[in-house]
Structure 1
Amino acid sequence: MKVRRPVASALAVAGYIVMIVPIMFVVATAFTGGETLRFPPEGVSLRWFEAALSYEPFIGALVSSLQLAVLATVLALLVGVPVTLAIYRGRIPGKGLVEGLFLSPLIVPELVVGLALYQQLMIGLKLDNFETLLIGHTVLMLPYAVRVTGASLALADPALEEAARGLGASPLRTFFTITLPLLRPGIFSAGLLSFVTSFNNVPLSLLLQSRDFRTLPVTMLDYVQQSYDPMVAAMATLILAATIVIAVIAERTVGFAKIFGGINR
């Protein structure tokens, strides 16, 4: 089989190697029977998985991360879906400007966003860490809600909604019977991406953390600075496995290729 673009293919392979090989090292280390992070691992054991699942700071931080990710995802979708409808189906002036505004968190460094939230919300409005962190995560998730649901709406035929309204359906009924089912794959995909991104966020969570509320990635980062055992590798492997399972289920039920194919349209 002849490769049409050998340079691009070689760069792609090199990129995959750079991304995947370090992950394989972490996964292999998680199954070690030794006492320290070493490669190759010393024997095979599940002891560090048991230790990670019984370590109270990890479990408490896991619950906090799940709570934060779920709330931020829901809020981002509640804001992002109406904005998407206004951009793609509405007649508001400056649609490009509005879309660019909601996509801007993708290009603004998270530390800059965190510092602004800290100064304006925590110091200015006296909000607590969790409320500020929730607002920050919601802002960071808005681009996923707007862009991915927008891609799903771009793939939909506007004639279906026009036909429903032409047959006498009210705008509200048209939304729930036609538009919302068309948006469902995009909403599901955007929610999944937002949840995973929020759960794994480090820069913003690290800047706005408190002793009472700490996310799992920040807790793991603190732990690895104090200890050198493979328990962090075991927890990271569990998170990786859960993410892969979620992605596979989402691909089978929704199909990421179809949704993300509309982003470039």
Structure 2
Amino acid sequence: MRTRHPVAAAFAVAGYIVMIVPILFVVATAFTAGKTLKFPPEGFSLRWFGQALSYQPFVGSLATSAEIAVLATLLALLVGVPATLAIHRGRLPGKGIVEALFLSPLVVPELVVGLALFQQLIVTFRFDNWPVLLIGHTALLLPYAVRVTGASLAGMDPALEEAARGLGASPLVAFWTVTLPVLRPGIFSAALLSFITSFNNVPLSLLLQSRTTRTLPVTMLDYVQQSYDPMVAAASTLILAVTVVIAVIAERTVGFTRIFGGINR
């Protein structure tokens, strides 16, 4: 079957090549037997994976990144889902302004957000770096919680809730049995996008880090500035493998059509 838009198809293929080829280079150099980042790889070896898994700065910062990502995702959903319900179902005055405020972290550069949090909370109020980093990541993830779950809620027929209420269900029961199942794919996709975004964040984490609070991407960036061996490529390959596993689980359990289909409605 011939495509009706050959130019668009060519740009799409070029885009995939630009995105995928550098990743293949990184994965290939992770298996090199050489001592430097070089392509093509010099032989085959798994030793850099072992060194990456045993390198204490990477292991410690991995725990910090995972902890921040999980907590920030939970907080963003706890705030974003009720805000989405209030925007789409409530009688909230100025709904457009409220929704724009929740989506504003997508527009404001992360460096500006990080600098503002650093000056106000760390410098002025002497907060520890860890809670400020959590606040910053939560703020960055709020747009995903509001936008993605809002897309799922926008595709729901309000008559379903009204029918449940008409049959005697309380507001809580109607939400639990009718609204929540509709929102579940949106919540799942928002959690997935939020976790990946938080885990891979560099600009905000770079500004709000401390000696004891360092995320994995920032630690890897610092390591690249000091060393030129393939251990960072091995660590990146491990992160890529975990991401692929998460994507496969998401596809098997929920399905990408249900997860991301509502975003484009």
The Cα shift of 1:134 comes to 0.4
Partner of 2:40: 40
Correspondence 1:65 to 2:65: yes
Q: 1:67-87, CA deviations, whole angstroms, 9 ceiling, x for partnerless residues?
A: 100010000000000001011
Partner of 1:131: 131
Q: 1:120-143, CA deviations, whole angstroms, 9 ceiling, x for partnerless residues?
A: 111222211111110000000001
Correspondence 1:28 to 2:28: yes
Q: Kindly report structure 1 stretches of 4+ aligned residues shifted beyond 2 Å.
A: 255-265
Partner of 2:208: 208
Deviates more, 1:16-25 or 1:243-252: 243-252
Alignment of 1:28-177 (within 5 A): 28-177=28-177
Equivalent-residue separation in structure 1 for 2:104 and 2:261 (angstroms): 21
Partner of 1:188: 188
AA in 1 matched with 2:206: L
How many residue pairs were aligned?
265
Partner of 1:12: 12
Partner of 2:260: 260
Equivalent-residue separation in structure 1 for 2:193 and 2:123 (angstroms): 31
AA in 1 matched with 2:231: M
The Cα shift of 1:94 comes to 1.8
AA in 1 matched with 2:74: V
- Whether contact under 8 Å (2:122, 2:128) holds in the other structure is yes
Point out where structure 2 has 5 or more consecutive residues left out of the alignment: none
Q: 1:64-121, CA deviations, whole angstroms, 9 ceiling, x for partnerless residues?
A: 0001000100000000000010111112122222111111111111001101111111
Equivalent-residue separation in structure 2 for 1:134 and 1:237 (angstroms): 26
Equivalent-residue separation in structure 2 for 1:31 and 1:259 (angstroms): 34
Equivalent-residue separation in structure 1 for 2:255 and 2:83 (angstroms): 23
AA in 2 matched with 1:13: V
Partner of 1:238: 238
Equivalent-residue separation in structure 2 for 1:26 and 1:263 (angstroms): 31
Equivalent-residue separation in structure 1 for 2:247 and 2:88 (angstroms): 27
AA in 2 matched with 1:144: Y
Equivalent-residue separation in structure 1 for 2:259 and 2:244 (angstroms): 18
Partner-residue secondary structure (3-state), 1:221: helix
The Cα shift of 1:3 comes to 2.3
- Whether contact under 8 Å (1:151, 1:260) holds in the other structure is no
AA in 1 matched with 2:16: Y
Partner of 1:223: 223
Partner-residue secondary structure (3-state), 1:74: helix
Point out where structure 1 has 5 or more consecutive residues left out of the alignment: none
User: Aligned residues: percent identity?
Assistant: 79
- Whether contact under 8 Å (2:185, 2:258) holds in the other structure is no
Equivalent-residue separation in structure 1 for 2:256 and 2:69 (angstroms): 21
The Cα shift of 1:159 comes to 1.7
The Cα shift of 1:26 comes to 0.2
Equivalent-residue separation in structure 1 for 2:7 and 2:97 (angstroms): 37
Equivalent-residue separation in structure 2 for 1:54 and 1:95 (angstroms): 50
The Cα shift of 1:39 comes to 0.3
- Whether contact under 8 Å (1:151, 1:259) holds in the other structure is no
- Whether contact under 8 Å (2:186, 2:262) holds in the other structure is no
Aligned-residue RMSD, C-alpha: 1.1
Equivalent-residue separation in structure 2 for 1:144 and 1:229 (angstroms): 36
TM-score in terms of structure 2 length: 0.97
The Cα shift of 1:163 comes to 0.9
